[in-house]
């Protein structure tokens, strides 16, 4: 299933500064940093890689799920 519909209007780019001891340090474009559990990243994540974060409200996520369901039904019926 295409999950690309789970995107916010303004995805946020982050760079992985380091991954060690089960933690990952993310750096935002304005050089703010945050440390998260590495379990939330793809297993092949290395320092220096860039990703996009999507910040979605519960309402936006529910709408996205509804849009995906419609697309799946369209594919099934075609």
The answer to whether the CB of 68 falls within 8 A of the CB of 1 is yes
Per-residue pLDDT for 1 more than 50? no
Question: Domains of the chain: which residue ranges?
Answer: 12-77
| The overall pTM is greater than 0.85 | no
With contact defined as beta carbons under 8 Å apart, do 25 and 51 qualify? no
d(CA 46, CA 18): 7
Phi, psi of 34 (to 5 degrees): -145, 145
% of residues, the chain, pLDDT over 70: 86
Strand partners, 52: 13
Q: Which fold has domain 12-77?
A: SH3 type barrels. (2.30.30)
Q: Which has more confidence, 5 or 57?
A: 57
**Could you give the CA distance from residue 48 to residue 56 in angstroms, rounded to a whole number?**
25
Question: Phi/psi of residue 60, each to 5°?
Answer: -65, -40
């Amino acid at each position: 299933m295409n999950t690309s519909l789970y995107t916010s209007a303004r995805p946020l780019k982050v760079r992985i500064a380091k991954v060690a001891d089960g933690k990952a340090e993310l750096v935002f474009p304005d050089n703010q940093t945050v440390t998260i559990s590495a379990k939330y990243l793809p297993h092949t994540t290395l320092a220096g890689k860039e990703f996009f974060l999507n910040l979605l409200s519960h309402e936006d996520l529910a709408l996205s799920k509804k849009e995906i369901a419609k697309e799946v039904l369209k594919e099934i019926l075609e």
